[in-house]
A and B are shown apart, each in its own frame.
Chain A
């Protein structure tokens, strides 16, 4: 903690999941960093790419299976429509606490100075083109590029 007096200068957030709760966790942390005067960048890889995919980003769901905190029996959570229902209910609650939708949240992040990167390997694997992603994505980069961007004092990395 002696480095830079423990001060956090930049958050490098890796988003690898597309479940709504994980995407929002990454967004809130990135935005919260900017609000405190901390720089923030987000690297979307694997399913995390869905959060910046034009056609998919507004259709993210909460996970009703394999998520004990939902307090729904797994067999019921697996029934058709359960994910949509749980997502609908969660979005209603999010609205009450003034949480924006995925698209609007991304606009807020970009306006706040958050840089967004997409993972090249995952892009190739899912056969995505850069045009499939929102225009605010700075670039498609390799993991090595991401590490280079993460160099410096007071930089913290977070995997979601």
Chain B
């Protein structure tokens, strides 16, 4: 479905995840963060860039993996994105929701 955000029209799935990454930009991310009641700091952007990189490499994401990334540890990841960090951060990053149980 289509959604207008930050003056742009983007396509999202029923859970609100972007279906076309080329429609993502920083202003879209900022708006999506606002919907999640978050204000993005440089640390958030570090994590977002890491998640996007991993997604580009087709490498499956999990909490454990993010914790071992060297970019952020698990405690800080939860502090940055307190409510469901992996789900929220990937949504803001414009990439699909990881199907991970760990």
Contact = CB atoms under 8 A, between A and B. Distances in A.
A102 B10 CA distance: 43
A104 B82 CA distance: 21
B74 interface: yes
A100 B100 CA distance: 14
A31 B101 CA distance: 8
The 6 closest A-B pairs by CB, nearest first: A111-B74, A37-B84, A37-B83, A111-B75, A36-B84, A112-B78
Nearest to B88: A37
Contacts of A35: 63, 84-87, 100
Interface residues of B, number: 18
Chain A, interface residues (CB within 8 Å), range: 10 to 19
Contacts of B75: 111-112
Interface string A108-120: 1001110000000
B84 to A, nearest CB: 4
A98 B68 CA distance: 12
